[in-house]
Amino acid sequence: MVSVEKFIEKLLLKHDCVIMPGLGGFVTHYEPPYRDEESGLFYPPTRTIGFNARLKINDGLLVQAYMQAFDTNYPEANRMVEREIERVKELLHSQGAFDFDNLGLLELKADNELLFTPKNQGGIVAPTLYGLDAYASAPYVAPVKVTQPIETAEA
């Protein structure tokens, strides 16, 4: 069976938020391109990822993905998602952390607070941003217009 982390990773390519009912939601945020004045590098736009533990209500997105992948009905897909979330919760409580493969690490702190650390600090790949890399460019220098007096012939 495909793990829930693979489903979430795939869903985040098309959606800005994927909720794991009862646990929290992964949320992406678009970061516009920018230029680092010090290094002279232009950086492309990216999508950063975070985790919001307050997003607990099932939005159906993950369940719908399971329905399509396993060709099953809603109640069965919902049970599959619930089992996967229970697996994640058990590992969080027994090991203190759960690795979401390419997304990042979710840790359970002593105060039962969840802390997410993204794996790729440069953001996650999105089809619209694929292949964009940082590049160096010399600063733009506006051309200087030089004017010279016109000599006229005197009669």
* pLDDT one-digit tens code per residue, 28-75: 998 888 888 888 888 888 888 999 999 999 999 999 999 999 999 999
- pTM, full prediction: 0.77
Given a cut of 60, is residue 148 above it in pLDDT? Answer: yes
Contacts 24+ apart (CB under 8 A), 130-139: 132/44, 132/45, 133/44, 134/41, 134/42, 134/43, 134/44, 135/41, 135/42, 136/39, 136/40, 136/41, 136/42, 137/40, 137/42, 138/40, 139/40
28 three-state secondary structure: strand
